[in-house]
Amino acid sequence: MLKKTFLTAFAAVLFLFNSCGNKDITLTPESTEVKGDLKEYFTVVDKQFIVKYDEKGIFNKYIISIELQRTDVPFKFNTEGIEPMGTYGQSVNGNFGIGLELRDKDGNIVNTWSPTATGFSGVYSHDDLSNLLRLESGETGQVRWSYDGFKDRKDKEFTFKVSSCLEIDKSLYSSSSKGSNSSNEWDSVIDSYEQFVNEYTAILKKVNSGDMSSYSEMAELMEKYQELAEKIEAASDELSSKQLKRFNKINSKLSSAIL
């Protein structure tokens, strides 16, 4: 859960500038079948979907939204404690995810989102996934992905396939699996995060003052994001109370700068 908190915080930090694009991009399912571990429980709604374009979006402005429908097959596992990929903690008994494969009209793969992906490589919102497990038979729910690749393409019509995964293994998230270096790992992660926030707030001041050089500096800063995200994924699951307090303090500084 704490890793998710870190990655969610980055959503407020990312500041990419994208050109306007076509608002009438359509997506058609190649099949209503959901591949993978959850194929018994969900199907793709058989209709054409329109890619939404967020004019005010800070990150990727194109939002892909796909609808899934709950089947009448009862879950063969206890959904309590089953959380989206990237969510960790002692109360988490397993993880699940939804993936998407996007193809152009010639059948070439345009982009793939793995069902095991987390952070900005995964779905747009964890809430989308969490809501799926609460659906009753026949009810539908949406799963979204953000993608900016459409702006560089002339295509308007695409097809897609949906995939899924379910990983249930309590031993993966038990306290006994934590390494002895977890504290040092998180100290390093928080150090990097604090440096990232400091650089971001400095550049943000330049942006607000109209300094055009800030745009290139922001682009360079975004390259550091991937390194930081990898550190977060590699770290153990839990922070100490002292580390969490420090993290919250850095987040308060970030919030003040943004406001």
Average pLDDT over residues 104-126: 91
pLDDT in tens, 47-70: 999 998 766 655 557 899 999 999
CB atoms within 10 A of CB 245: 10
Residue 99, in any domain of the structure: yes
**Residue type at 245 in one-letter notation:** K
Strand 109-113 to 49-50 pairing? unpaired
- 154 in the same domain as 26: yes
> Are 66 and 167 contained in the same domain?
yes
Domain that holds residue 32: 20-173
What pLDDT, on a 0 to 100 scale, did the predictor assign at position 130? 93
Identify whether 167 is part of a domain. yes
Whether 14 is covered by a domain: the verdict is no
Residue 51 has a CB neighbour count (10 Å cut-off) of 19
Q: Is the pLDDT of residue 11 over 60?
A: no
Q: 35 in a domain, yes or no?
A: yes
DSSP character for 151?
G
Among 173, 197, 229, where does a domain finish? 173
CA separation for the pair 117, 131 (Å, rounded): 18
Q: Please tell me the distance from the alpha carbon of residue 35 to that of residue 45, in angstroms, as a whole number.
A: 14
In a shared domain, residues 132 and 182: no
37 has a pLDDT exceeding 70: yes
Tell whether 159 and 103 lie within a shared domain.
Answer: yes
Check whether residue 185 and residue 72 sit in a common domain. Answer: no
Kindly state the average pLDDT of the residues 1-30: 58
Residues 59 and 153 in one domain: yes
12 lies in some domain: no
Reported as a single tens digit per residue, the pLDDT across 67-101 is 999 999 999 888 888 999 988 877 888 999 999 99
Regarding pTM above 0.95, the answer is: no
Please tell me the predicted confidence (pLDDT) of residue 164.
Answer: 96
Domain boundary among 173, 196, 221: 173
Looking at the structure, tell me whether residues 130 and 169 fall in a common domain: yes
Q: What is the mean pLDDT of the chain?
A: 80
The residue behind tokens 């942006």 is: 207
Q: Among the three residues 141, 173, 205, which one is the final residue of a domain in this structure? A: 173
The answer to whether residue 104 scores a pLDDT higher than 70 is yes
Residue 15: inside a domain, yes or no?
Answer: no
Helix (H, G, I), strand (E, B) or coil at 246: helix
User: Which residues make beta-bridge pairs with 62?
Assistant: 53, 147
pLDDT at 115 (0 to 100): 95
Q: Is residue 8 situated within a structural domain?
A: no
Residue 218 has pLDDT above 70, yes or no: yes
SS3 of 90-145: the string is CCCCEEEEEEEEEECCCCCEEEEECCCCCHHHCCCCHHHHHHHCCCCCCCEEEEEE
Taking the C-alpha atoms of residue 176 and residue 172, their distance in angstroms, rounded to an integer, is 9
Q: Are residues 55 and 167 in the same domain?
A: yes
Question: Can you give the pLDDT at residue 178?
Answer: 44
Identify whether the C-beta of residue 33 lies closer than 8 Å to the C-beta of residue 239. Answer: no
Stronger pLDDT, 21 or 220, i.e. the higher one? 220
Position 10 scores a pLDDT of 53
Residue 189 lies inside a defined structural domain of this protein: yes
pLDDT on residue 239: 72
Q: Based on the domain organization, do 136 and 83 belong to the same domain?
A: yes
CA-based nearest residue to 132, from 82, 168, 187 = 82
Task: Give residue-wise pLDDT tens across range 166-214.
Answer: 998 644 333 433 444 566 678 878 888 888 888 888 888 887 787 777 7
- Return the structure tokens found at 90: 């002692």
Give the least confident one: 46-55, 83-92, 223-232, 247-256.
223-232
Q: Which residue has the higher pLDDT, 109 or 246?
A: 109
- Between 31-35, 125-129, 133-137, 235-239, the lowest mean confidence (pLDDT) is in 235-239
Whether the pLDDT of residue 27 is over 80: the answer is yes
DSSP readout, 172-208? GGSGGG--TTHHHHHHHHHHHHHHHHHHHHHHHHHHH
Is 198 found in the same domain as 147? no
Q: Are 77 and 142 part of one and the same domain?
A: yes
Residues 71 and 165 both lie in one domain:
yes
- pLDDT level of residue 111 (50, 70, 90 thresholds): very high
- The mean-pLDDT minimum among 137-141, 177-181, 240-244 falls in 177-181
| CA–CA dist 32, 41 (Å, integer) | 12
Q: Say how many domains are in the chain.
A: 2
pLDDT at 153 over 50: yes
